[in-house]
Amino acid sequence: MPTSYRSRRRSSRRRTATTLVVSVLAVAAIAGGAFAALNGLFAGGQPPPISITPRCFASTDAGKAALDPEQSANAALIAAVGQSRGMSPRAVTIALATAMQESKLRNLDYGDRDSLGLFQQRPSQAWGTPEQIMDPVYSAGEFYKELAKVPDYETAPITEAAQAVQRSAYPEAYAQHENAARSFASALTGHSPGGLTCTLGPAAEASDPALFIATFQAEWGDSAGGGITTTADAARPGGDGTASGPAVTLRAGSSTEGWAYAQWAVAKARQLGVAAVEADGQVWDRADTSWQPTSSPAAGDPGTGQLVTVHLVSLPTDPP
């Protein structure tokens, strides 16, 4: 006998109710699992870990730009080498825009044909040996050496100045990086005080003051940072004044140079294990990320920026 319309409706209602019950039980199970997970995370009063994407930012009159820590460290190197050779902020802007286009500010061991390094220079085009080109201090120096030969590079469009050095197949591509390059160049040459900051997670390893000084002198030149001193247990700013780790103090010749040193240190913070930097009455700290006023005596002569104190990571004070 055919099933009646009324019977079919009762059967449909039973299936709907069964489906609803199963759905409710599934949601409850998921919610219970989530609650258990959260309860485990907060056990003992400990909040869940917060994921931080490390980034460095340059905020200047040219705008705001961002790089990851590896790119930022290489940008700082390029800026330091330029200043060590007496090159202008405009030259640093051209160099940064070029490296942004050629390698995305990464020291590549490959490229088109035999191109290598930050500027994708070619051994076959007399830029040096592969080993030399893979040394970023050398390759940046070679770029500036050739740029200095370009007439009117200070006033020429970036595309023309960069192309005169690089002889690229796509010279117009450099223009797209001009604003970001200007922002980082302005901060890294000290012309935008407090313009460069980094958002970093806690350091995983203790720092080596000798490595910091060696890196600084390799990129800025042996004569830079006159009167470099180290302190084994320096008081960190913003705390209770107690000693908390090693520090390196750099003496600059002017406020602009001091800010160039300071923001170089911030840009290299992840590479060199920098915990905090003091300059010109301001302090940057990994825990805060922005520059803040400080009354710490370690900040140096107020208003001059001639003393820059770089506080290095000392574990377990700064645990991973």
- Banded pLDDT at 45 (limits 50, 70, 90): low
- H runs (alpha helix) in the chain: 5-41, 69-84, 89-103, 130-133, 136-147, 158-166, 178-188, 209-220, 255-267, 269-272
- Banded pLDDT at 50 (limits 50, 70, 90): low
Q: For residues 69 and 56, what is the distance between their CA atoms, to the nearest angstrom?
A: 6
Alpha carbon 308 to chain centroid distance?
Answer: 19
Better pLDDT: 200 or 242: 200
- φ/ψ of residue 58, rounded to 5: -115, 115
Task: Decide if 80 contacts 95 (C-beta within 8 A).
Answer: no
Query: So what CATH class is 57-188?
Result: mainly alpha
Residue 207 confidence (pLDDT): 92
Better pLDDT: 158 or 21: 158
Q: Which of 30-44, 174-188, 233-247, 286-300 holds the top average pLDDT?
A: 174-188
Q: For residues 162 and 156, what is the distance between their CA atoms, to the nearest angstrom?
A: 10
What is the dihedral angle through the alpha carbons of 63, 69, 75, 77, rounded to the nearest 10 degrees? 150
- Banded pLDDT at 15 (limits 50, 70, 90): very low
pLDDT in tens, 86-107: 999 999 999 999 999 999 999 9
Residue 316 preceded by cis peptide, ω within 30? yes
Residue 316 confidence (pLDDT): 57
Query: Residue 74: CB partners within 8 Å, gap ≥ 6?
Result: 99, 105, 106, 107, 118, 136
Q: Which of 261, 70, 317, 227 is nearest to 278 (CA)?
A: 261
Q: For residues 265 and 284, what is the distance between their CA atoms, to the nearest angstrom?
A: 10
Q: For residues 100 and 77, what is the distance between their CA atoms, to the nearest angstrom?
A: 13
DSSP 282: E
Kind and range of the H or E run holding 117: none
Q: For residues 111 and 121, what is the distance between their CA atoms, to the nearest angstrom?
A: 9
DSSP 313: P
Residue 269 confidence (pLDDT): 96
Residues 52-89 as b/e (b if ≥16 CB within 10 A, e otherwise) read eeebbbbbbebeebebbbbbbbbbbbbbbbbbbeebeb
Better pLDDT: 31 or 233: 233
Q: Name the residue ranges covered by the structural domains of the chain.
A: 57-188, 202-312
Structure tokens at 198: 């980094």
Q: Kindly report the average pLDDT of the chain as a whole number.
A: 83
Residue 34 confidence (pLDDT): 42
